Amino acid sequence: MIGRLNHVAIAVPDLDAAAAQYRDALGATVGAPQDEPDHGVTVIFIELPNTKIELLYPLGENSPIQAFLDRNPSGGIHHVCYEVEDIGAAKDTLIAQGARILGDGEPKIGAHGKPVLFLHPKDFNGCLIELEEV
């Protein structure tokens, strides 16, 4: 079902400082910040030869990233994102196997303009998983 690793998301307490660190210290190609109000985050993508790093920063009072940073003030890995060919079929298969889909259970449009779903970390060894349709 899952395809390639699309990105690893890291919640950061200072978006500008984190972007500068990847750009200046590591020499990475750093994208522009983009607000994702439906997800309560501002993101910056770091382009790597084989995948991406997504820097996450809270957007708005009810951001789930703020809750994560409250528990982890220095930041940390928030989730991994895998590509799937058909997000509807993936959702149906996962639900049939007992996995929980976060939110209302329906795909939302993610930062790449494609449908995404998040899977409950308690169902996947403590790891929050995002699936993105390609």
* Rounded CA separation 33/55 (Å): 9
Check 47, 54, 85, 130 and give the catalytic one.
130
Half-sphere exposure of residue 104, counting CA atoms within 13 Å on the CB side? 5
Cβ–Cβ under 8 Å, residues 129 and 77: no
- Residues 102 and 79: their CA atoms lie apart, in Å, by 13
Neighbours of 52 (CB within 10 A): 18
Rounded to 10 degrees, what is the CA torsion of 34, 88, 117, 52? Answer: -60
Q: Rg of the chain over CA atoms, in angstroms? A: 15
User: Is 130 annotated as catalytic?
Assistant: yes
DSSP code for 122: G
Kindly list the catalytic residues: 130
